[in-house]
């Protein structure tokens, strides 16, 4: 079972465990580096540290981003980590001894050095994103056609993305309006997994209407920590004007 910590906060791992029936839970922590459980069984633990293993992305746009591609795996299972390390190094356990088919997935030293420096500034960056998000929440909550992000009771929110839910029939027009205003937007993700051609041979056993509706309605606005006060004001004013 893949638990996706989407947009910057922890997924409901405890609810997934109730239905898992012993199936391992893998955490996709690409969008939630630094998010933490604040209530329940895993209170005080970070996203990516409670499942069978956690996966992380260090793509430049992530909360902790390298200069290029990068990622990591976390686990408390020593055997699993040894296998993962071997696969990431051409299937080697020792140099020139290949026990399994592997890949070249080692993090290069330049990316590691950049991450080591940026990690020191992560709390500051997350605090900046939180302050921007607080301004957005105050500005957009009164807008009747806009649903702002909600933070789960069991997690904090790192706001990797600030994602609005708006009427699907207005999304394309809104995106074009924002482009004309010089403000970028992005849709994560326009096509649900069960609608991807690669998975067409899997027939859903039940309706996934909520996923399909959200894929037509969500849109993300800028929330990166480098936004200047005048940028934040321009974004708030543009969205308020459009939906008022």
What averages of pLDDT result for each successive group of 10 residues across the chain (244 residues)? 98 97 96 98 98 97 97 95 94 93 94 98 98 98 98 98 98 98 97 92 88 98 97 98 97
Contacts with 175 (C-beta within 8 Å, 6 or more apart), sequence order: 185, 187, 219
Burial of 130 (0-12, 13-18, 19+ CB in 10 A): middle
Among candidate residues 66, 98, 120, the one where a domain is terminated: 120
Question: Is the same domain home to 209 and 142?
Answer: yes
Pairwise CA distance, residues 133 & 182, whole Å: 20
| pLDDT at position 30 | 98
Please choose, from the candidates 219, 213, 223, 157, the residue with its C-alpha nearest in 3D space to the C-alpha of residue 188. Answer: 219
Which domain range does residue 177 map to?
Answer: 122-243
| pLDDT at position 173 | 98
Residue 12: CA count within 13 A, CB half-sphere: 7
Question: Is the same domain home to 132 and 114?
Answer: no
| pLDDT at position 60 | 97
| pLDDT at position 206 | 86
Question: Is the same domain home to 112 and 142?
Answer: no
Q: How many CB atoms within 10 Å of residue 165?
A: 17
pTM of the model: 0.92
- The β-bridge partners of 74 are 54
How many domains in the chain? 2
Pairwise CA distance, residues 45 & 111, whole Å: 26
């Amino acid at each position: 079972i893949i638990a996706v910590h989407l947009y910057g906060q922890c997924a409901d791992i405890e609810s997934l465990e109730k239905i898992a029936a012993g199936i391992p839970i893998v955490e996709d922590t690409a969008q939630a580096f630094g998010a933490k459980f604040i209530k329940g069984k895993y209170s005080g633990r970070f996203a990516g540290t409670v499942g069978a293993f956690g996966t992380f992305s260090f793509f430049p746009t992530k909360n902790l981003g390298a200069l290029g591609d990068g990622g990591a795996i976390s686990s408390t299972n020593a055997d699993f980590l040894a296998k993962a390390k071997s696969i990431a190094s051409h299937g080697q356990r020792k140099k020139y001894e290949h026990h399994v088919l592997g890949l070249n997935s080692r993090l290069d030293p330049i990316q590691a050095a950049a991450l080591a420096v940026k990690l020191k500034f992560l709390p500051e960056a997350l605090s900046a994103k939180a302050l921007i998000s607080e301004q957005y929440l105050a500005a957009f909550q009164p807008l009747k056609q806009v649903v702002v992000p909600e933070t789960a009771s069991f997690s904090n929110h790192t706001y990797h993305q600030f994602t609005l839910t708006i009427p699907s029939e207005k999304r394309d027009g809104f995106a074009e309006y924002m482009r004309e205003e010089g403000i970028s937007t992005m849709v994560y993700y326009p096509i649900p997994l069960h609608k991807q051609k690669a998975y067409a041979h899997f027939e859903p056993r039940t309706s996934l209407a909520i996923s399909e509706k959200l894929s037509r309605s969500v849109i993300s606005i800028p929330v990166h920590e480098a936004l200047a006060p005048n940028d934040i004001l321009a974004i708030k004013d543009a969205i308020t004007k459009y939906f008022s």
